[in-house]
Amino acid sequence: MQVGVGRIGRPHGVRGDVNVEPRTDEPDRRFAPGSTLTTDHAGHPNLTVEGHRWHSSRLLVSFADVGDRTAAEGLRGVLLSTVVDPVEVPEDPDEFYDHQLVGLAVVDRTGSNLGTVAEVVHGAQDLLVVTRDSGGRVLVPFVAAMVPEVDLRRGYVVVDLPDGLLDLVVE
């Protein structure tokens, strides 16, 4: 199973190191030297990890074939993924991979269709980017109080949102 493990951020230094926003509970394992990661970048479909280190609570990674700041800058925003044995996938019913959520229908408690999960944004608070059927996109905090149900088998998430949140269109 292919799962996302990080997103490349800005370059660090002049030797091609990059900041990586980890999207895994095991960054030391997933970014171990010699690991090959798949990307969504046409020029670099695969990147091989040369090394990684933590600096000021940020993950810095060096890749083979990315030898300078210019090359590193060209990778900003690139998603990194790897193949994970399904046996390794946790059985916790409250944990989801981004690829499991993207594409799910978003419905309210009455079952009315509100849109589709277009993306998951990670940061201080995980957010679902919902493309509204009526147009535009809204951000929904991915917390149990606002997303009380995720049904992967049936292909939807239920949201229970405060009044007005769906009116805060971001695009």
95 and 124 Cβ atoms separated by less than 8 Å: no
39 and 92 Cβ atoms separated by less than 8 Å: no
Tell me what pLDDT residue 43 has: 86
Exposed, middle or buried, 146 (CB in 10 Å: 0-12/13-18/19+)? middle
Is the confidence at residue 87, as pLDDT, over 80?
no
Q: pLDDT per residue over 127-143, tens digit each?
A: 899 999 888 899 999 99
Which residues does 109 contact at the CB level (< 8 Å), separation at least 6? 158, 160
Tell me what pLDDT residue 135 has: 84
Regarding whether 104 and 38 lie in a shared domain, the answer is: no
Regarding whether 163 and 121 lie in a shared domain, the answer is: yes
Q: What is the pTM of this model?
A: 0.64
127 located within any domain: yes
Regarding whether 106 and 79 lie in a shared domain, the answer is: no
Q: pLDDT per residue over 88-147, tens digit each?
A: 655 566 778 788 899 999 999 999 999 999 988 887 788 899 999 888 899 999 998 999
